[in-house]
């Protein structure tokens, strides 16, 4: 029982060697996949399925320099492959779009600023998923809702976060416990109204406290955490996007 309670806190979570080994193994598999890309037998979207969790997972558990250094030699390849993704008609496949945008976010937050998708393309991909939002898994919807905030598509974020119109006015100092829907809508209002990080800091710290519990219950994952960090640190506190993962790593240790 004590062991079960322990892994629901950050000290126990970070001490889980199996979780660290899993993310390192996935990162190594990703490196091998990128080294052997093939349009038919091993296309880039397959690699994205590994990247979307292994990059932010390793960054939080081991530091941003771990994924950044191991994938550094693939920066040019990844940048090229990202530009090839759906250049004209965006797909109506929410999971693929979620994987692509969340991987770009994780890469940039870890220091690979050249991993990018032009805003106009990203927004077109997000809009193409809105009609089928109800059919998407909750985890994907959260990623897309957070991506909408990052790309300043606030009302579109509401479509993916199971809610109606946002509140007319942002209220500083609130917190939402494990309620990710409430936090997403709150962050959307904060960015929309140009609030500062100190005004959402209680909500962020409260969310961080509950993350291990929600992670183990499979309600949250690494990409959700990295999106929220980007919104809080980069958009609301003007932190360079390439420093977001490093700051998140420090915040997690401060929460111990």
Domain boundary assignment for the chain: 2-254
The overall average pLDDT reported for the chain is 92
The per-residue b/e assignment along 96-115, b for 16 or more CB within 10 angstroms, e otherwise, is bbbbbbbbbbbbbbbbbeeb
What local confidence, expressed as pLDDT, does residue 1 receive?
A: 42
| Average of per-residue pLDDT across 237-244 | 98
Number of helices and strands (H, E) in the chain?
14, 0
| Cα 224 to Cα 41: distance, rounded to the nearest angstrom | 29
Return the sign of the alpha-carbon dihedral for residues 145, 149, 153, 155.
positive
Taking CA atoms, 171 is separated from 23, 116, 234, in Å, by 37, 32, 20
Task: Give dist(CA 73, CA 69) in Å, integer.
Answer: 8
* pLDDT of 2 over the 60 cut: no
The per-residue DSSP string of 42-53 comes to: B-HHHHHHHHHH
Instruction: Kindly state the average pLDDT of the residues 235-253.
Output: 97
Tokens 């976060």 sit on residue: 161
What percent of the chain has a predicted confidence (pLDDT) above 70?
Answer: 96
Q: Which two tokens stand for residue 252?
A: 């997690």
More confident residue, 222 or 118: 222
**Contact status, residue 126 vs residue 153, Cβ threshold 8 Å:** yes
Instruction: Please give the model's pTM, rounded to 2 decimal places.
Output: 0.94
Q: How far is CA 219 from the centre of its chain?
A: 14
The band of 182, judged by pLDDT with boundaries at 50, 70 and 90, is very high
pLDDT, mean of residues 35-49: 92
- pLDDT at residue 202 greater than cutoff 60: yes
Whether the predicted pLDDT of 3 surpasses 60: no
Tell me the pLDDT band of 183, cut-offs 50, 70 and 90: very high
Q: Helix 94-109 crosses helix 44-62 at what angle (to 10 degrees)?
A: 40
- Determine what percent of the chain is predicted with pLDDT higher than 90: 80
Question: What is the Cα–Cα distance from 95 to 140, expressed in whole angstroms?
Answer: 6
Choose the weakest-confidence range: 85-94, 154-163, 215-224: 85-94
The DSSP annotation for 185-243 comes to HHHHHHHHTT--HHHHHHHHHHHHHHHHHHHHTTS--HHHHHHHHIIIIIITT---GGG
pLDDT given at position 4: 52
Q: What angle (nearest 5°) sits at the alpha carbon of residue 171, between those of residues 167 and 173?
A: 140
- CA gap 115, 79 in Å, rounded: 5
Tokens at 148, concatenated: 């909408």
Torsion angle (degrees, nearest 10) of CA 8, 9, 13, 16: -80
Cα–Cα–Cα angle for 79, 84, 86, nearest 5°? Answer: 130
**Average pLDDT rounded to a whole number, residues 102-111:** 96
């Amino acid at each position: 029982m004590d062991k079960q309670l322990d892994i629901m806190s950050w000290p126990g979570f970070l001490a889980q060697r199996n979780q660290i080994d899993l993310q390192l193994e996935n990162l190594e598999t990703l490196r091998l996949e990128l080294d052997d890309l093939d349009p038919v037998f091993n296309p880039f979207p397959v690699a994205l399925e590994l990247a979307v969790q292994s990059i932010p997972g390793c960054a939080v558990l081991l530091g941003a320099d771990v994924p950044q250094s191991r994938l550094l030699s693939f920066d040019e390849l990844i940048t090229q492959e990202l530009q090839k993704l759906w250049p004209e008609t965006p797909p109506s496949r929410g999971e693929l779009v979620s994987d692509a945008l969340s991987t770009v976010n994780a890469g940039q937050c870890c220091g690979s600023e050249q991993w990018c998708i032009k805003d106009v393309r990203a927004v077109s991909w997000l809009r193409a998923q809105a009609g089928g939002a109800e059919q998407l898994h909750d985890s994907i919807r959260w990623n897309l809702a957070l991506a909408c905030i990052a790309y300043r598509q606030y009302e579109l974020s509401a479509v993916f976060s199971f809610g109606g119109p946002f509140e007319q006015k942002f209220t500083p100092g609130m917190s939402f416990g494990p309620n990710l829907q409430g936090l997403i809508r709150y962050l959307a209002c904060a960015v929309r109204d140009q609030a500062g990080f100190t005004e959402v800091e209680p909500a962020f710290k409260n969310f961080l406290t509950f993350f291990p519990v929600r992670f183990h219950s499979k309600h949250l994952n690494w990409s959700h955490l990295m999106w929220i960090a980007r919104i809080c640190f980069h958009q609301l506190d003007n932190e360079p996007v390439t420093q977001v993962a490093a700051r998140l790593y420090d915040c997690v240790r401060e929460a111990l």
